[in-house]
Amino acid sequence: MGRIILITGGARSGKSHFALQSGEKLSGSHCFIATCPAVDEEMAERIERHRKERSAQIWETIEEPLNIDEVLVEGTHEVYLVDCLTLWINNLLEQCAAKSIDCSESFLGTKAERIVRTVEMIDATVIFVTNEVGMGIVPGNALARRYRDLVGLCNRLVAGAASEVVLVSCGLPIYLKK
């Protein structure tokens, strides 16, 4: 049975760095699942900075914007780091819009629960990185509110199944569940 660790925090809080350090302390082969596509030059630069932070000797990188569960079930690694769920949800929203599918809470909940069930079936530790987006102001448009709500739902579902949940603030880990 797999083990879930959820690491959350605000933008630039240090959560990805903390996740890498945590993953590198675990034994076994390591796989980094990157959910962010390089949609513009600035994002490509961010991706490159993240890539340089992790050691190629330790981490195999798989870029997968949508089908995290498939990578996990087909993989052979003992440690996975998924960075990040918030971009995965963004990718789902874009895919739904392109296919005229309603990306409802039910739809997203089913997708998130499928990932959790997949982790339960494999023999690996999976570290998920996500943003805490619900602590700020209420967004001024419907799409931004839906995104915030979907991220909150996903975070709750994954945190509920996690053996460990860490909030990173100002680079400091605060253990919410251990």
Confidence class for position 45, pLDDT limits 50, 70, 90: confident
State yes or no: is 30 an active-site residue: no
Mutual angle of helices 142-161 and 85-98, in 10-degree steps: 130
The parent domain of residue 46 ranges over 3-177
Mean pLDDT over each residue of the chain, to the nearest integer: 93
Q: What share of the chain is helix, strand, coil (3-state, %, to 5)?
A: 45, 25, 30
Q: Give the tens place of pLDDT for each residue, 3-24.
A: 999 999 998 899 999 999 999 9
Domain count, the chain: 1
Give the mean model confidence (pLDDT) for residues 116-134: 96
From 17, 30, 50, 77, active-site residue: 50
pLDDT(37) > 80: no
Q: Which of 121, 122, 18, 28 is nearest to 79 (CA)?
A: 28
pLDDT(49) > 90: no
What's residue 57's pLDDT?
Answer: 77
What CATH number does residue 140 fall under? Answer: 3.40.50.300
Give, for 148, the enclosing helix (H) or strand (E).
helix 142-161
